[in-house]
């Protein structure tokens, strides 16, 4: 599949996602957050769902967690953010009691409703490595009930694509941020990805 046709395929899905009312999250969103990045990306990051800033801008990982993810990509991996692909399981912001105040992980019915879009994104992009961020995306992609603390840093598999689970940037921020030992864990996980891809570690 050429780059143009991958882009076109992704645009077709994005057009389906924008007016989607398959689950209750459609009732509160400002807009859907489809995902963004290089259609030919070798690395695809998958988070759980958009937060406040993402809902307002229509872009994934643009709040504080997004800034940390961008640093992980640009400093930790040594590549521009737009060279990878970033998406979430749900394309609308999940909030507690649908009050649109406090973010929460997606519920099972929302994952079931929305995940076909993500699966189509993966099948078009065909990344060489998937990095799952936090429990919901790791459990969904690896079909497990195990928690991220146990799974992180260990390779999994998604239909032949190697999967590296690591902590969600929001979780790192909530637990000490830049100085957190969790951040060092994320760096270690990223180094394993670089080695697997045979990418040079940034100096």
Per CB under 6 A, residues contacting ligand SF4 are 17, 20-23, 25-26, 32, 90-92, 110, 113-114
Closer of 16 and 74 to ligand SF4 (Cβ): 16
What does the alpha-carbon distance between residue 153 and residue 37 come to, in Å, rounded to a whole number?
24
Q: Are 44 and 87 in contact (CB under 8 A)?
A: yes
Instruction: State the minimum distance, in angstroms, from the CB of residue 82 to ligand SF4.
Output: 23
Closer of 86 and 190 to ligand SF4 (Cβ): 86
Instruction: State the minimum distance, in angstroms, from the CB of residue 97 to ligand SF4.
Output: 16
Closer of 92 and 193 to ligand SF4 (Cβ): 92
162 vs 5, 20, 100, 196, CA distance in Å?
Answer: 24, 30, 35, 9
Which neighbouring-strand residues pair with 162?
157
Instruction: State the minimum distance, in angstroms, from the CB of residue 131 to ligand SF4.
Output: 21
Instruction: State the minimum distance, in angstroms, from the CB of residue 147 to ligand SF4.
Output: 24
Of 173, 99, 169, the closest CA to residue 132 belongs to: 169
Closer of 114 and 125 to ligand SF4 (Cβ): 114
16, with CB counted inside 10 A (0-12, 13-18, 19+), is middle
Q: What is the DSSP letter of 96?
A: G
Instruction: State the minimum distance, in angstroms, from the CB of residue 112 to ligand SF4.
Output: 9
Instruction: State the minimum distance, in angstroms, from the CB of residue 113 to ligand SF4.
Output: 4
Of 2, 44, 74, 6, the closest CA to residue 162 belongs to: 44
Closer of 55 and 189 to ligand SF4 (Cβ): 55
What's the order of all strands across the beta sheet hosting 36-37?
36-37, 85-88, 43-47, 129-133, 161-166, 156-158
Q: Are 91 and 117 in contact (CB under 8 A)?
A: yes
Closer of 137 and 166 to ligand SF4 (Cβ): 137
């Amino acid at each position: 599949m050429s780059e143009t046709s991958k882009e076109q395929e992704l645009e077709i899905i994005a057009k389906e996602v924008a007016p989607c009312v398959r689950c209750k999250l459609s009732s509160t969103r400002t807009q859907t957050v489809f995902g963004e990045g290089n259609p030919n990306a070798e690395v695809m990051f998958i988070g759980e769902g958009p937060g406040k800033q993402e809902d307002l801008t229509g872009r994934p990982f643009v709040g504080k967690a997004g800034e940390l993810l961008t640093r992980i990509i640009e400093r930790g991996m040594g590549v521009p953010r737009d060279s990878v692909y970033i998406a979430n399981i749900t394309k609308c912001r999940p909030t507690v009691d649908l009050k649109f105040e406090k973010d929460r992980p997606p519920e099972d019915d929302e994952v079931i409703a929305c995940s076909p879009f993500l699966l189509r994104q993966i099948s078009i992009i065909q990344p060489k490595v998937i990095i799952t961020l936090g429990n919901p995306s790791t459990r969904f992609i690896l079909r497990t009930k195990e928690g991220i603390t146990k799974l992180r840093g260990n390779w999994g598999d998604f239909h032949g694509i190697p999967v590296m689970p690591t902590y969600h940037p929001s979780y790192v921020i909530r637990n000490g941020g830049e100085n957190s030992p969790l951040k060092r864990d994320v760096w270690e996980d990223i180094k394993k990805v670089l080695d697997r891809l045979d990418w040079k570690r940034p100096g």
